């Protein structure tokens, strides 16, 4: 097993990697739910012919049965919708939560052109739709700029697809002859951590587990290095210069942890006017009052400075580095949820 906590983007990457390696690959996607269902529509699982898989379609309830069905279509190809519900004896065998129903589309990946296009879109932080034919398993990728005539066989209202891209809701769509599943992929929610300090050593791996795309920024190479932060994207530059090249967008959270005004203050000035939904800075109320005074002296508008979450994180009462990291991540997750960021 590769892992069940993989992000949506990681699942697509895994599917492509396995295909390139010559493995037979199938994709399972939750297309509809009713009642008690652990995973929403759009949740995905990818499996290869060795039985390795990544992702989840039910949190563990029906994975075994779905994987078994996926392995059956390696040789036959095409697509199939599986139904699990309480009234069905099969549902009890796989342990579906009482009172629930889930429909799962499985399709063998014969042509991965659509997945390659999708990966390119996500790399460019562009929202995209992965369209899957529920009968044949054929796939196509559409974006906000995709002309409707590129998909003549879909016979779908392009306005409907644009609406799904806008609201981020995956779901079934029907044409005159066939049903499609439109899986919305949005750019990963980013977390930029400024300051490679002890709290960051806890926060960075936790944030990755929560599905955030994490970058650590600190000009001090003694702090920001692969020994202290393994498997981490590290930028050893001044954060204000980093944000000039990588602007904080509407899906970016910024956490300032260095506790050094020479590092934190220029970063804040660089991003206060950005659309980033979360800006947090480490420090007590007294520390933050001094920070606000410095920002005011630098010409920062007091109203703009009100955006800063400080003291940073939800007030959970803990003071250890891991407690503070949990509080910060909890606050970011809350902000992300309020934005309606979906799978």
190-194: strand order across its sheet = 233-235, 213-217, 190-194, 252-256, 278-281, 308-309
The answer to whether 107 and 27 are in contact (CB under 8 A) is yes
Please tell me the distance from the alpha carbon of residue 289 to that of residue 211, in angstroms, as a whole number.
Answer: 33
Task: Identify the burial level of 212 via C-beta atoms within 10 angstroms of its C-beta, where 0-12 means exposed, 13-18 middle and 19 or more buried.
Answer: buried
Please tell me the distance from the alpha carbon of residue 261 to that of residue 248, in angstroms, as a whole number.
Answer: 20
Q: How confident is the model at residue 244 (pLDDT cuts 50, 70, 90)?
A: very high
What are the angstrom distances between the C-alpha of 98 and each of 83, 86, 90, 95, 283? 15, 6, 13, 8, 47
Please tell me the distance from the alpha carbon of residue 29 to that of residue 177, in angstroms, as a whole number.
Answer: 21
Average pLDDT over residues 211-236: 96
Q: Which domains does the chain have, with CATH numbers?
A: 1-187 (no CATH), 190-338 (3.40.50.720)
What are the angstrom distances between the C-alpha of 31 and each of 21, 84, 187? 28, 12, 21
Do you know the residue count of the chain?
A: 343
Of 330, 309, 308, which is closest to residue 318 (Cα–Cα)?
330
Helices (H), the chain: 8-20, 63-76, 89-94, 113-123, 158-167, 198-209, 239-245, 261-271, 285-297, 302-305, 321-338
The answer to whether 29 and 105 are in contact (CB under 8 A) is yes
Least confident of 81-85, 98-102, 118-122, 239-243: 98-102
pLDDT digits (tens, 9 = 90+) for 79-113: 999 998 744 554 455 555 455 788 999 999 988 99
Of 318, 312, 316, which is closest to residue 335 (Cα–Cα)?
312
Q: How confident is the model at residue 63 (pLDDT cuts 50, 70, 90)?
A: confident
3-state SS class at 20:
helix
pLDDT digits (tens, 9 = 90+) for 7-42: 888 899 999 999 999 999 999 999 998 766 668 889
Q: How confident is the model at residue 177 (pLDDT cuts 50, 70, 90)?
A: confident
């Amino acid at each position: 097993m590769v892992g069940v906590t993989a992000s949506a983007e990681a699942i697509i990457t895994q599917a492509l990697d396995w295909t390139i390696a010559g493995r037979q690959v199938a994709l399972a996607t939750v297309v509809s739910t009713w009642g008690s269902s652990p995973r929403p529509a759009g949740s995905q699982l990818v499996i290869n012919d060795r039985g390795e898989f990544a992702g989840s379609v039910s949190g563990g309830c029906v994975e075994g049965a779905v994987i078994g069905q996926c392995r059956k279509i390696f040789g036959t190809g095409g697509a199939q919708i599986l139904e699990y519900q309480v009234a069905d004896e099969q549902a009890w065998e796989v342990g579906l939560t009482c009172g629930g129903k889930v429909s799962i589309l499985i399709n063998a990946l014969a042509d991965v052109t659509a997945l390659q296009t999708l990966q390119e879109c996500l790399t460019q932080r562009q929202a995209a739709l992965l369209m899957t034919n529920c009968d044949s398993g054929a796939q196509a990728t559409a974006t906000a700029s995709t002309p409707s005539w590129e998909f003549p066989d879909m016979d779908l209202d392009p306005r409907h697809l644009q609406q799904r891209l806008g609201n981020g809701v995956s779901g079934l769509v029907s044409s005159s002859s066939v049903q499609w599943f439109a899986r919305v992929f949005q750019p990963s929610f980013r977390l930029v951590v400024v300051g490679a300090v002890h709290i960051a050593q806890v926060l960075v791996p936790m944030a990755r587990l929560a599905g955030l795309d994490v970058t650590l920024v600190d000009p001090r190479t003694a702090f920001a290095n692969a020994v202290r932060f393994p498997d981490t994207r590290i930028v050893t530059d001044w954060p204000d210069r980093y944000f000039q090249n990588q602007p904080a967008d509407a899906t970016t959270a910024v956490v300032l942890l260095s506790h050094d005004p020479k590092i934190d203050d220029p970063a804040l000035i660089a991003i206060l006017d950005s659309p980033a939904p979360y800006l947090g800075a480490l420090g007590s109320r007294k520390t933050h009052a001094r920070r606000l005074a410095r920002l005011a002296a630098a010409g920062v508008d007091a109203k703009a400075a009100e955006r800063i979450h400080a003291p940073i994180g939800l007030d959970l009462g803990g003071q250890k580095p891991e407690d503070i990291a949990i509080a910060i991540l909890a606050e970011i997750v809350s902000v992300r949820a309020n934005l309606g960021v979906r799978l």
